Amino acid sequence: MTIEKRTRGRRSKVDLLPSEIKEQLNAMLRDGRLEQTEVLEIVNQKIDKAGLKEAKLSRSGLNRYAARMEQIGSRIREMREVSEVWVSKLGNEPTSDVGKLLQEAVRTLASETSFALMESGEPVEPKALNQLAMVAQRIEAAAMTSHKREKEIRMAYAAEVADTLSDELRGQDGMSEQLEDRIRGILLGKA
């Protein structure tokens, strides 16, 4: 599915509405309890009250806008569903699994773009090469940042577990301080 582009750079009447009216329109469309004819009537009444009679929406204009919003919403819902599937497959790690998924999606798109450019038989423009190189660099930087953050989270969790363990077991059951320190070292990766 492709998102319909605006023609000749003109903004639609919906885009030109005052933000308050547009927010109410969006809320009614998201809610889905009203039919579009009812939404159109309510919005046009609000436009009349605001003294913007020339900004009244047509049925087809509202329908185009609602279809575009539904298309975007559908893509967002689809991406969330895909993310949920992959996140559950990746496991419950204390990191941003959605972030990892997005990095992988961008990697895939960059690869597909690269292959398409190579297969076209056309010379690849330096600007396109530069942009692909920047994408690759940014993906790797994001991956390194995620890895660093994941490591920090794991270390903080290990320290918390070690502290709890030490507090709970200190001096009990004949456990020596040396054994406690050894367990703490293992949890913190210092053994």
Half-sphere exposure for 98 (CA within 13 Å, toward CB): 7
Cα 33 to Cα 110: distance, rounded to the nearest angstrom: 41
Q: Is residue 6 assigned to a domain?
A: yes
Q: How far apart are CA 58 and CA 55, in angstroms?
A: 9
* Helix axes of 36-49 and 19-31: crossing angle, nearest 10 degrees: 160
For residue 53, being part of any structural domain is answered with yes
Q: How confident is the model at residue 169 (pLDDT cuts 50, 70, 90)?
A: low
Please tell me the total count of domains within the chain: 1
- For the CA atoms of 82, 83, 89, 93, the dihedral, rounded to the nearest 10 degrees, stands at 180
Domain annotation covers residue 42: yes
First to last CA, the chain: 55
28: in domain: yes
Dmax (CA) of the chain: 85
Task: Indicate whether 134 belongs to any domain.
Answer: no
Report the distance separating Cα 136 and Cα 65, nearest Å: 35
- The residue assigned the tokens 């959605």 is 98
Confidence of residue 32 (pLDDT cuts 50, 70, 90): confident
Is 149 among the domain residues?
Answer: no
From the DSSP assignment, how many helices (H) and strands (E) are in the chain?
A: 7, 0
Quote the CA–CA distance of 66 and 105 in Å, as a whole number: 28
Is 47 within a domain?
yes
Q: Which tokens is 184 given?
A: 């703490």
Torsion of CA 121, 134, 150, 112, to 10 degrees: -20
Q: From CA 163, how far away is CA 4, in angstroms rounded?
A: 57
Q: How confident is the model at residue 59 (pLDDT cuts 50, 70, 90)?
A: very high
* 116-158 tens-digit pLDDT: 777 777 887 888 888 888 888 888 888 888 888 888 888 888 8
Domain extent, residue 56, equals: 1-92
Contacts by 144-149, CB closer than 8 A, 24 or more apart: 146/95, 146/96, 146/99, 146/100, 146/103, 149/95, 149/96
pTM score, whole prediction:
0.44
Model pLDDT, residue 91: 56
In a domain, 113, yes or no: no
* Rounded CA separation 85/53 (Å): 48
What is the rounded average pLDDT of the residues 52-75? 86
H/E run at residue 4: none
